[in-house]
């Protein structure tokens, strides 16, 4: 289990490195709650959605959460400080 986690972490770094300055492209399919029953993922609440933005634009507009789907797993990144460092695209921005 532990080595599996290490492999996952190593591949995430490899992926981030391969994508370089282009950043990570999220695989979100539509907005939260539109095509799926889930209306919340962690602190990401559909009611607060500002739609699909890059993490950079989300931060610039004053957003504070970002939902990114990677390998079919949706993660809500919570907090402007984290958002600022993300360098992700095609994810969903939340107030």
Count of chain residues binding ligand NAG (CB under 6 A): 3
Q: Is 78 in the site for ligand NAG (CB under 6 A)?
A: no
- Three-class DSSP labels, 41-66: ECCEEHHHEEEEECHHHHHHCCCCEE
User: Binding to ligand NAG by residue 50, rule CB under 6 A?
Assistant: no
Rounded least distance, CB 14 to ligand NAG, Å: 35
Binding to ligand NAG by residue 75, rule CB under 6 A?
A: no
> Pick from 27, 40, 78, 82: which binds ligand NAG (CB under 6 A)?
40
CB 91 within 8 A of CB 55: yes
Using the rule CB under 6 A, is 87 a contact of ligand NAG? no
From the list 28, 45, 75, 87, which residue makes contact with ligand NAG (rule: CB under 6 A)? 45
H or E segment to which residue 25 belongs = strand 24-25
Radius of gyration of the chain (CA): 13
Contacts of 29 (CB under 8 A, 6+ apart): 35, 69
- Would you tell me which residues interact with ligand NAG (CB under 6 A)? 40, 45, 47
């Amino acid at each position: 289990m532990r080595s599996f986690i290490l492999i996952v972490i190593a591949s995430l770094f490899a992926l981030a490195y391969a994508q370089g300055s282009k950043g990570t492209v999220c695989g979100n399919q539509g907005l939260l709650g539109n095509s799926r029953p889930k209306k919340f993922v962690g602190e990401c609440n559909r009611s607060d959605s500002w739609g699909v933005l890059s993490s950079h634009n989300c931060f610039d507009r004053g957003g504070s959460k970002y939902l990114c789907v990677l390998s079919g797993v949706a993660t809500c990144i919570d907090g402007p400080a984290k958002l600022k460092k993300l360098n992700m695209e095609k994810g969903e921005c939340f107030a």
